Amino acid sequence: MADQKKRKKQKLFYRPVGMLLGLASGAVASTLFARAWALIGDGDAPDAMDEEREWKEILLAAAVQGAIFAAVKAAVDRGGAVGVRRLTGTWPG
């Protein structure tokens, strides 16, 4: 029972940390996507509702953006969990 209470406290502690890391990872992923698109695309990344852009360009941009966001999120989540374990001695979650 004490172990269960400890886990609840850890989750509460990690929640704001996870939210801050989520915001930071979104900013990093946006920057990385903009740089990646500058290398592979023509100008700004297309919006799905951009009538002037072709399907293949819109879908390519969405796939690249999704891959970058997923990879950054995984790296940040994992790094945050490792950091919490170093501080507390236990794995969050």
**Which candidate, 35, 37, 31, 44, places its Cα nearest to that of 72?**
31
Mean pLDDT value of segment 13-26: 86
* Between 87 and 69, residue with greater pLDDT: 69
**pTM score > 0.85 for this model?**
no
Residues 31-54: pLDDT tens digits? 999 999 999 988 889 999 999 999
**Which candidate, 42, 40, 83, places its Cα nearest to that of 65?**
40
pLDDT for the residue 63: 97
How far apart CA 62 and CA 83 sit, in angstroms, is 31
